[in-house]
RNA sequence: GGUCCCGUAGCUCAAUUGGCUAGAGCGCCUGCCUUACAAGCAGGAGGUCACAGGUUCGAGCCCUGUCGGGACCACCA
C-alpha cells in the first residue's frame, strides 16, 4: 500500500482491467426475468477505415449509459458490430488494388474482388474493435455482428422476400450515373462536379401539321449536348408562356432522323426566363427530363447510348460512334439543314466519376424500389404518438419531414460487395412459365400465384423489361432454398447481378442482431454456432420450446444514440422495418449528440487532414481522460470545436494545426512538415495527402483540450491516494447522526444532491451537465473543502475512526458515480480500496443509523449505483456552510491583498448576531485549519479595531487587525470600489421593486427573492459605508 | 433553394427553459514546493450576451429583420 504513485498511470490500469472485466463476463447480457432489460444497439461503424473522434464521442455516450444502467440493476446489453458499407468499402479496396497492382475489378472478377474485400473487412473490423475496447467499450462482445454475416443475411433475405410477396418491392427504371470508362454505375456521392469548357448551342426544330408537313414555324431551344437530340421525345414549354401556347399539342420534326415529337407544357421543367423558354426533352439521358417523362409518360423514352459511351441503333447512321464524335456530326448536320442558330462558349459544370475521373453519363437502368407509402406513414405515426421520442426533441422534425415525402426507396446498387438481390429472372415465355409452374405457380393473365406451400418461400411477378415490349418473369426466393435456386438456374433464369443498398441491411440491425427471423432459437454467439444454425433452415415452431428469448427480452431497444446526419438514412428506416418485421418500434428513445468539428469549424474527417485518432489521444492522456473530456462536450445544442495540435515527436511540444497544414501536399517529392519551435526542427506529420517516409519520427495529432479530463482523473487519483494513506487502522462500524460533524453532514447533503442530479442528467442524455456536476462535487467540494476540513480529525486518535468511515463512504459513492465516465481509474481505486476495506459504512434509508457496514461488490463495474436518501439533503445546513466558506474566502483574500505570507497567523474578529456568532465559534478550529486564522472574537458587540482590513457578508462583518501592515489608502480604495459595485446592484434592485407592475405581476417568489437580495445588499452597503467612514 | 443549429470572457463551452450580482475549464496576473495532488493550492483581472427593432413588470433566452459561422436535404437544362 505504500506504493501509490503521485500521478495516475492510465496505461497499466487499462491493460489490467479490461481483460478482467471481459473474463468475468461483466459485459455479457442474458435474458433475466428478475431484471429489466436495457438495450443499446451500436450505430454500426463502416469497415471502410479506422474510427475517428465522432465514433469516440458516440461510443462514450453509449458506454456511459450502459454502465450506468448496469449499475442500476438493469440487464444492460450493448450490442456491437460493423457495417459492410457497400459502396465505400468496395471503392476503397478497388482504389488500393488499382494503385498498388494496377488492376481493376474487371481484371480480377467478382469472386476474387469480394474475397479481397472480406480480407479488408477482417483487418479493419479487428482494428475498430480494438479501438473500441481501448476506450473501454463494455459491449457484449460475444454477440458482435456484421451486416454481411450469416445471421444478418438471413434477416435481409427474409425481409426482401416478405416485402416482395407483399407487393412492396417493385422493379422500376431510374437514371444512374454511368461511368463509361469503368462501365459501371456510380453512386451520387462518388461523383464530383467540375467545370469544363463547353458550348451552348441553339438550334430549332420545324413545327409540322397533322400530316407531318412543315408549317414553316420553328421552335428554338438550347443545349450543351446536341447528340442527345437523337433521343428527344418532346419539346417542352411553360404552360403560361404566351409565346408558345398556340403550339402546345402540335408536333415538331427532328431533322436528324425525321422523327415527330410532341410539344408539351410542363411548368416544372420549362422556365420562361431561361434561354428561349423552350427546352428539348431527352428522358433517357437527363434527370430532369426523366422526371418530366414520369409526369408525361405518353411522350415515351429512347435510350441512345451503349454502355461504353458509343451510340446504339437508335442513332441511325451514327451507331457505334463515340458520343463526342456524334456531337460534332450532329451539329454539322443541323447546320447543313439550316436549323443551327448560334453557339457560345461556356463553362459547364459536369459530373465526373470519382474513380475514373472521366465524365459520367446519365443512363437508364432497371432498379429495385421499396414502396414507401404505408411504411413511411407507420414510421411517422410512431414518432408523432410518442412511441419513439427524440432527445433533443427538435430532431423529430428532420425525421418526419423526410419520411413525409414518401419517396420510394431505391434499394439496388450496381456493386459486387453486398447482399445480392434474391431475384431470378428470364424473358417471359413458355419455358419460363413452365419452370415456375413446376414450383406450384398458376398464371391468371399476368398475375402469378403460388400454392400455399411454395408461397412460403417463392414469389413471382411478370414485369416490363428495359426494351420496349420486353416481358420478364421475376422470381424471388427466400433464404435457405438453394434447391429452388438451382432449378431456376437450370431453367435459364439468372440471378440479378446487383446488390442491396447498405441501408437495407443496417435498417434491420435492431432485430437482425437478436436473431430475427429465427423465433425458435437464441441467436448464435460465435462463428461455430453461426455455422451450425445456418446450415439448416430454422426449425418449425413447435410451441413447446422457449423460442428466441434473446429477441423477446431485448427487443425493443431502450435508446439509440447517434449523430444527426443519419436520422433519415438510418434511424427512419430502422423504425420502418422494425414496425414492418417486428410490429414494434426498434427503440423508445433516440438521442442525437453533437458533431465534433476542428478548430476552424470544419467537420472532422480523414480526408480533410483533421481526423484525430482516438487511440493517439488515449495513449497520451488515458482512456478515462478522453472519455471524461468527450462527455463534457456532449450537450444539447452546440457542435463542438476541437482545436488540434501536432505533437513534436521529440519533445512533445504542441504545435497548433493550421489550414495550411491540412491542405499541404508534397511539393516535387518533398513532403510537408511541421516546425517545432522548441527543438528547432521539422517533422513529417500524419496527412491524408501523403504517407510519411518510413522510419522517420512523425508528429501525431492530439488536442490539449483533453488535459481537462486528464487533470480531473489525476485529482480523483490523489484524493483517493490521500484517503488510502489515511485509512491505516481502518475499522468497520456504523456511523450515527450524532457521530457526524458539520462537514460530514454537509458533504453527505451535497452527495445526495449530486447523485440525484446524475440520474436526472443521464436520464435526459445531458452528458455535459452530468460531467460538470460530478466534477464540481469532486474537485470543489470533496477535495477543496471536505478533505481539508477532516485532516485534523484524521490526526486525532479519538475522532479518526468516524472520520475514516465517512471519508471512505463518500469516496465509495464518488467512485461509483464516476465509474460510467472513467471506468478504468474507478476500477483500480475500487480494487485498491477493497483490499483495505471490503466492508464499508454505506448509506441506508434509515433516520437513526445513517451509515451501516456493508460488504461491497467484487468489481466496481457491477457495484450498485448509489442511492443516497433524499432526507440527507439539508438546505439550511448548506446555507450555513456557505457562510463559513465565504468567511474563509474573505480572510484569504485579505491575506493575499496584504501579501501576508501563508505561514503567518492572523486574527479575525466577526461582528454578527448571537446565532451566527455561535455557529462561527463552533467551527473556529477550521479558521485555523483552512486559513491559519485565529477567530479571536465573534458577537454582536464586536467593534472594528483601528488598522484593520474589513469585509462584509451581509449578515456578518469581519475585521482582520493588521496594525502596521495596513495601508490606509489602499484599504480605502478597495472599500470604495466595493461600495460602487454594491451601490450599482442596490440601485438595480430598488428600481425593480419601485416598479408597481413588477411587484403586482411577477410571481411572488421572484419578488420575495429580489427583496431578500436587496436587504442583504443594503446590509453590506451599510457595513462598507461604516468601514469607509471609519477609515477617513 | 428548403430545414435545422450556433454567435456569451483571449480560446472552448454553461446558464435549471423568461426571474437572485451571467458561470466554468484553459490561458493571463499575484503569491505559495502548506504532509493527496505544481497535471497542484490560495487570491485576482477579464463580458455593450453578434447587430437593429419588437413583445413583456422583466430578455442572453421569445418574435421580426440584418450580418457571420456550421450541418442536413433538395437542386444545379
User: Is A936 a residue whose pLDDT tops 70?
Assistant: yes
Q: Which residues pair with A254 in a beta bridge?
A: A259
Nucleotide nearest to A899 (CA to C1'): B31
Q: Are strands A849-855 and A735-736 parallel, antiparallel or unpaired?
A: antiparallel
Q: Which residue is nearest to nucleotide B21 (CA to C1')?
A: A985
Q: Which residue is nearest to nucleotide B23 (CA to C1')?
A: A772
Give A768's contacts (C-beta < 8 A, 6+ positions apart): A631, A632, A633, A634, A635
DSSP A524: P
Nucleotide nearest to A1014 (CA to C1'): B20
Q: Are strands A906-912 and A956-961 parallel, antiparallel or unpaired?
A: antiparallel
Closest CA to A229 of A330, A313, A111, A328: A330
Q: For A21-52, write each residue's pLDDT tens digit.
A: 999 999 999 999 999 999 999 998 888 878 88
Mean pLDDT for the stretch of residues A768-774: 93
Q: How far apart are CA A536 and CA A581, in angstroms?
A: 22
Angle between helices A110-134 and A86-101 (to 10 degrees): 110
Q: Which residue is nearest to nucleotide B32 (CA to C1')?
A: A902
Q: How far apart are CA A774 and CA A772, in angstroms?
A: 6
Pick from A15-29, A182-196, A259-273: least confident: A182-196
Closest CA to A236 of A202, A190, A282, A200: A282
Q: Which residue is nearest to nucleotide B15 (CA to C1')?
A: A769
The whole-number pLDDT of residue A421 equals 93
The whole-number pLDDT of residue A535 equals 66
Per-residue pLDDT band for A2 (boundaries 50, 70, 90) equals very low
Q: How far is the CA of A713 from the C1' of B30 (A)?
A: 28
Q: How far is the CA of A547 from the C1' of B15 (A)?
A: 52
Closest CA to A94 of A80, A76, A81, A112: A112
Nucleotide nearest to A932 (CA to C1'): B34
Nucleotide nearest to A897 (CA to C1'): B43
CA angle A343, A344, A345 (to 5 degrees): 135
Q: How far apart are CA A773 and CA A762, in angstroms?
A: 11
Nucleotide nearest to A1012 (CA to C1'): B20
Mean pLDDT for the stretch of residues A130-141: 94
Nucleotide nearest to A707 (CA to C1'): B39
Q: How far is the CA of A12 from the C1' of B44 (A)?
A: 40
Q: How far apart are CA A934 and CA A803, in angstroms?
A: 24
Q: How far apart are CA A305 and CA A315, in angstroms?
A: 9
The whole-number pLDDT of residue A189 equals 58
The whole-number pLDDT of residue A141 equals 93
Nucleotide nearest to A291 (CA to C1'): B77
User: Is A622 a residue whose pLDDT tops 90?
Assistant: yes
User: Is A245 a residue whose pLDDT tops 80?
Assistant: yes
Which string of DSSP letters, residue by residue, matches A697-743? -EEEEE-GGGHHHHHHHHHHHHHHHHHHHT-TT-----EEGGG--HH
Q: How far apart are CA A821 and CA A875, in angstroms?
A: 28
The whole-number pLDDT of residue A409 equals 84
Q: How far apart are CA A821 and CA A755, in angstroms?
A: 14
More confident residue, A580 or A694: A580
Note whether A675 and A591 are within 8 A (CB).
Answer: no
Nucleotide nearest to A401 (CA to C1'): B3
Q: How far is the CA of A725 from the C1' of B46 (A)?
A: 40
Q: How far is the CA of A194 from the C1' of B4 (A)?
A: 29
Q: Which residue is nearest to nucleotide B75 (CA to C1')?
A: A288
User: Is A501 a residue whose pLDDT tops 80?
Assistant: yes
Per-residue pLDDT band for A507 (boundaries 50, 70, 90) equals very high
Note whether A31 and A552 are within 8 A (CB).
Answer: yes
The whole-number pLDDT of residue A303 equals 86
The whole-number pLDDT of residue A540 equals 60
User: Is A875 a residue whose pLDDT tops 70?
Assistant: yes
Q: How far is the CA of A290 from the C1' of B21 (A)?
A: 66
Q: For A482-492, write each residue's pLDDT tens digit.
A: 889 999 999 88
Mean pLDDT for the stretch of residues A704-714: 93
More confident residue, A509 or A606: A509
Q: Could you tell me how far CA A1001 lies from the centroid of its own chain? A: 44
Q: How far is the CA of A784 from the C1' of B37 (A)?
A: 11
Q: For A410-443, write each residue's pLDDT tens digit.
A: 888 888 888 999 999 999 988 888 888 888 888 8
Closest CA to A425 of A489, A367, A479: A489
Q: How far is the CA of A546 from the C1' of B2 (A)?
A: 51
Q: How far is the CA of A985 from the C1' of B55 (A)?
A: 26
User: Is A353 a residue whose pLDDT tops 80?
Assistant: no
The whole-number pLDDT of residue A200 equals 85
Q: How far is the CA of A632 from the C1' of B45 (A)?
A: 27
The mean pLDDT of chain A is 87
Look at residue A958 and give its three-state secondary structure: strand
Q: How far is the CA of A896 from the C1' of B29 (A)?
A: 13
Nucleotide nearest to A997 (CA to C1'): B57
Q: How far is the CA of A636 from the C1' of B12 (A)?
A: 16
The whole-number pLDDT of residue A543 equals 56
User: Is A544 a residue whose pLDDT tops 60?
Assistant: no
Q: How far is the CA of A633 from the C1' of B49 (A)?
A: 21
Q: Are strands A645-647 and A654-656 parallel, antiparallel or unpaired?
A: antiparallel
C-alpha cell at A527: 462463428
Note whether A222 and A356 are within 8 A (CB).
Answer: no
Note whether A664 and A672 are within 8 A (CB).
Answer: yes
User: Is A275 a residue whose pLDDT tops 80?
Assistant: no
Percent of chain A with pLDDT over 70: 97
Nucleotide nearest to A999 (CA to C1'): B57
Nucleotide nearest to A988 (CA to C1'): B21
Mean pLDDT for the stretch of residues A674-694: 82
Q: Which residue is nearest to nucleotide B13 (CA to C1')?
A: A633
Mean pLDDT for the stretch of residues A295-312: 85
User: Is A187 a residue whose pLDDT tops 80?
Assistant: no
Match 420496349 to its residue by C-alpha cell: A468
Q: Are strands A360-370 and A409-410 parallel, antiparallel or unpaired?
A: antiparallel
Q: Which residue is nearest to nucleotide B58 (CA to C1')?
A: A998
* Buried-state track A1013-1030, b at ≥16 Cβ within 10 A, e below 16: bbeebebbbebbeebbeb
Pick from A293-297, A642-646, A855-859: least confident: A293-297
Q: For A722-745, write each residue's pLDDT tens digit.
A: 999 999 899 999 998 889 999 999
Note whether A435 and A488 are within 8 A (CB).
Answer: yes
Q: Which residues pair with A280 in a beta bridge?
A: A235
More confident residue, A800 or A678: A800
Pick from A352-361, A889-898, A910-919: least confident: A352-361
Nucleotide nearest to A597 (CA to C1'): B70
Distance between start and end Cα atoms, chain A: 60
Evaluate whether ipTM surpasses 0.85: yes
Nucleotide nearest to A189 (CA to C1'): B73
Mean pLDDT for the stretch of residues A154-163: 93
User: Is A336 a residue whose pLDDT tops 50?
Assistant: yes
Q: What Rg value do the Cα atoms of chain A yield, rounded?
A: 38
Q: Are strands A587-593 and A360-370 parallel, antiparallel or unpaired?
A: unpaired
Entry field: residues in chain A: 1032
Q: For A828-839, write each residue's pLDDT tens digit.
A: 999 999 999 999
Q: How far apart are CA A419 and CA A496, in angstroms?
A: 11
Match 421543367 to its residue by C-alpha cell: A269
User: Is A566 a residue whose pLDDT tops 90?
Assistant: no
Nucleotide nearest to A713 (CA to C1'): B39
User: Is A821 a residue whose pLDDT tops 90?
Assistant: yes
Q: How far is the CA of A129 from the C1' of B69 (A)?
A: 35
Which nucleotides of strand B are protein-proximal, with an atom < 7 A from a CB?
3-7, 11-15, 17, 19-21, 24-26, 30-32, 34, 36-44, 56-58, 69-73, 75-77
Per-residue pLDDT band for A1 (boundaries 50, 70, 90) equals very low
Mean pLDDT for the stretch of residues A239-254: 87
Q: How far is the CA of A984 from the C1' of B9 (A)?
A: 21
Q: How far is the CA of A510 from the C1' of B22 (A)?
A: 44
How many separate helices (H) and strands (E) can be counted in chain A? 33, 40
Note whether A790 and A807 are within 8 A (CB).
Answer: yes
Q: How far is the CA of A475 from the C1' of B73 (A)?
A: 35
Q: How far is the CA of A658 from the C1' of B6 (A)?
A: 23
Per-residue pLDDT band for A555 (boundaries 50, 70, 90) equals very high
The whole-number pLDDT of residue A767 equals 92
Amino acid at each position: 500500500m505504500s506504493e501509490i504513485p503521485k500521478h495516475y498511470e492510465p496505461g497499466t490500469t487499462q491493460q489490467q482491467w479490461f481483460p478482467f472485466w471481459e473474463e468475468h463476463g461483466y459485459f455479457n447480457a442474458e435474458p433475466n426475468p428478475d431484471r429489466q432489460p436495457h438495450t443499446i444497439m451500436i450505430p454500426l461503424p463502416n469497415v471502410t477505415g479506422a474510427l475517428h473522434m465522432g465514433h469516440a464521442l458516440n461510443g462514450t455516450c453509449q458506454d456511459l449509459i450502459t454502465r450506468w444502467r448496469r449499475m442500476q440493476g438493469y440487464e444492460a446489453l450493448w450490442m456491437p458490430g460493423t457495417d459492410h458499407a457497400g459502396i465505400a468499402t468496395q471503392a476503397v479496396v478497388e482504389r488500393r488494388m488499382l494503385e498498388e497492382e494496377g488492376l481493376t475489378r474487371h481484371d480480377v472478377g467478382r469472386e476474387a474482388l469480394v474475397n479481397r474485400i472480406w480480407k479488408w473487412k477482417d483487418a479493419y473490423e479487428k482494428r475498430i474493435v480494438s479501438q473500441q475496447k481501448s476506450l473501454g467499450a463494455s459491449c457484449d462482445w460475444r454477440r458482435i455482428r456484421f451486416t454481411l454475416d450469416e445471421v444478418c443475411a438471413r434477416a435481409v433475405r427474409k425481409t426482401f422476400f416478405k416485402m416482395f410477396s407483399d407487393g412492396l418491392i417493385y422493379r422500376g427504371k431510374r437514371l444512374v450515373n454511368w461511368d463509361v470508362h469503368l462501365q459501371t454505375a456510380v453512386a451520387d456521392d462518388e461523383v464530383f462536379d467540375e467545370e469544363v469548357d463547353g458550348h451552348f448551342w441553339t438550334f430549332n426544330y420545324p413545327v409540322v401539321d397533322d400530316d407531318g408537313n412543315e408549317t414553316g414555324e420553328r421552335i428554338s431551344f438550347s443545349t450543351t449536348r446536341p447528340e442527345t437530340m437523337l433521343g428527344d421525345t418532346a419539346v417542352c414549354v411553360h404552360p403560361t408562356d404566351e409565346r408558345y401556347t398556340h403550339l402546345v399539342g402540335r408536333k415538331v420534326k427532328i431533322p436528324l432522323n425525321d422523327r415527330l415529337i410532341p410539344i408539351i407544357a410542363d411548368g416544372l421543367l420549362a422556365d420562361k426566363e431561361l434561354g428561349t423558354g423552350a427546352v428539348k426533352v431527352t428522358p433517357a439521358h437527363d434527370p430532369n427530363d426523366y422526371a418530366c417523362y414520369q409526369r408525361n409518360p405518353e411522350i415515351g423514352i429512347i435510350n441512345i447510348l451503349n454502355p461504353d459511351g458509343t451510340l446504339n441503333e437508335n442513332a441511325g447512321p451514327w451507331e457505334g460512334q463515340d458520343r463526342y464524335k456524334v456531337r460534332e456530326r450532329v451539329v454539322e448536320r443541323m447546320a447543313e439543314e439550316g436549323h443551327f442558330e448560334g453557339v457560345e462558349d461556356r463553362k459547364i459544370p459536369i459530373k465526373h466519376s470519382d474513380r475514373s475521373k472521366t465524365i459520367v453519363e446519365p443512363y437508364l437502368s432497371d432498379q429495385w424500389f421499396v414502396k414507401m407509402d404505408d411504411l413511411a406513414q407507420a414510421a411517422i405515426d410512431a414518432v408523432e404518438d410518442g412511441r419513439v421520442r427524440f432527445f433533443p426533441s427538435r430532431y423529430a422534425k428532420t425525421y418526419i419531414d423526410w419520411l413525409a415525402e414518401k419517396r420510394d426507396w431505391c434499394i439496388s446498387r450496381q456493386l459486387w460487395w453486398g447482399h445480392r438481390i434474391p431475384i431470378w429472372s428470364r424473358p417471359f415465355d413458355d419455358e419460363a412459365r413452365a419452370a415456375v409452374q413446376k414450383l406450384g405457380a398458376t398464371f391468371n393473365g399476368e398475375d402469378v400465384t403460388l400454392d400455399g406451400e411454395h408461397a412460403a418461400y417463392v414469389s413471382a411477378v411478370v414485369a416490363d423489361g428495359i426494351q420496349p415490349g420486353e416481358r420478364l418473369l421475376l422470381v424471388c426466393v427466400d433464404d435457405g432454398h438453394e434447391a429452388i435456386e438451382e432449378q431456376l438456374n437450370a431453367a435459364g433464369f439468372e440471378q440479378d447481378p446487383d446488390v442491396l443498398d447498405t441501408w437495407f441491411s443496417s435498417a434491420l440491425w435492431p432485430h437482425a442482431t437478436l436473431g430475427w427471423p429465427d423465433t425458435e432459437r437464441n441467436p448464435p454467439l460465435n462463428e461455430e454456432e453461426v455455422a451450425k444454425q445456418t446450415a439448416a433452415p430454422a426449425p418449425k415452431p413447435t410451441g413447446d420450446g422457449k423460442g428466441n428469448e434473446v429477441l423477446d427480452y431485448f427487443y425493443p431497444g431502450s435508446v439509440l444514440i447517434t449523430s444527426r446526419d443519419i436520422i433519415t438514412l438510418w434511424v427512419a428506416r430502422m423504425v420502418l422495418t422494425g414496425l414492418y418485421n417486428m410490429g414494434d418500434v426498434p427503440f423508445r428513445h433516440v438521442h442525437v449528440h453533437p458533431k465534433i468539428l476542428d478548430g476552424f469549424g470544419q467537420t472532422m474527417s480523414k480526408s480533410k487532414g483533421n481526423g484525430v485518432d482516438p487511440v493517439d489521444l488515449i495513449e497520451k492522456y488515458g482512456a478515462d481522460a478522453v472519455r471524461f473530456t468527450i462527455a463534457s462536450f456532449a450537450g444539447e445544442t452546440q457542435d463542438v470545436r476541437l482545436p488540434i495540435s501536432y505533437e513534436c515527436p521529440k519533445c512533445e511540444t504542441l504545435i497548433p494545426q493550421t489550414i495550411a497544414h491540412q491542405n499541404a501536399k508534397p511539393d516535387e517529392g518533398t513532403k510537408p512538415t511541421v516546425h517545432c519551435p522548441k527543438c528547432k526542427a521539422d517533422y513529417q506529420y500524419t496527412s491524408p495527402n501523403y504517407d510519411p517516409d518510413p522510419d522517420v519520427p512523425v508528429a501525431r495529432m492530439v488536442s490539449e483540450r483533453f488535459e481537462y479530463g486528464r487533470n480531473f482523473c489525476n485529482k480523483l487519483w490523489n484524493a483517493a491516494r490521500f484517503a488510502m494513506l489515511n485509512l491505516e487502522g481502518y475499522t468497520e462500524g456504523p456511523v450515527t447522526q450524532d457521530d457526524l460533524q458539520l462537514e460530514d453532514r454537509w458533504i453527505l447533503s451535497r452527495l445526495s444532491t449530486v447523485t440525484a442530479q446524475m440520474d436526472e442528467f443521464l436520464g435526459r442524455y445531458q452528458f455535459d451537465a452530468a460531467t460538470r456536476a460530478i466534477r464540481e462535487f469532486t474537485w470543489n467540494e470533496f477535495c477543496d473543502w471536505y478533505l481539508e476540513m477532516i485532516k485534523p480529525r484524521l490526526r486525532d486518535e479519538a475522532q479518526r475512526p468516524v472520520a475514516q468511515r465517512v471519508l471512505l463512504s463518500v469516496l465509495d459513492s464518488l467512485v461509483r458515480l464516476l465509474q460510467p465516465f472513467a471506468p478504468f481509474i474507478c476500477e483500480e481505486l475500487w480494487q485498491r480500496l477493497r483490499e483495505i476495506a471490503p466492508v464499508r459504512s454505506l448509506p441506508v434509508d434509515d433516520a437513526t443509523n445513517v451509515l451501516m457496514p456493508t460488504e461491497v461488490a467484487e468489481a466496481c463495474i457491477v457495484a450498485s449505483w448509489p442511492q443516497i436518501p433524499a432526507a440527507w439533503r439539508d438546505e439550511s445546513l448548506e446555507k450555513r456552510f456557505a457562510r463559513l466558506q465565504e468567511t474563509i474566502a474573505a480572510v484569504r483574500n485579505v491575506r493575499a491583498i496584504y501579501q501576508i505570507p501563508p505561514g503567518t497567523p492572523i486574527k479575525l474578529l466577526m461582528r454578527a448576531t448571537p446565532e451566527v456568532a455561535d455557529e462561527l465559534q463552533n467551527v473556529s478550529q477550521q479558521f485555523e485549519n483552512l486559513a491559519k486564522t485565529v477567530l479571536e472574537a465573534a458577537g454582536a458587540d464586536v467593534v472594528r479595531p483601528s488598522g484593520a482590513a474589513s469585509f462584509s457578508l451581509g449578515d456578518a462583518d469581519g475585521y482582520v487587525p493588521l496594525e502596521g501592515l495596513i495601508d490606509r489608502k489602499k484599504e480605502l480604495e478597495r472599500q470604495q470600489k466595493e461600495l460602487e459595485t454594491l451601490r450599482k446592484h442596490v440601485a438595480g434592485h430598488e428600481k425593480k421593486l419601485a416598479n408597481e407592475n413588477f411587484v403586482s405581476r411577477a410571481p411572488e417568489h421572484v419578488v420575495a427573492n429580489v427583496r431578500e437580495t436587496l436587504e442583504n445588499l443594503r446590509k453590506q452597503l451599510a457595513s462598507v459605508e461604516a468601514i469607509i467612514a471609519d477609515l477617513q
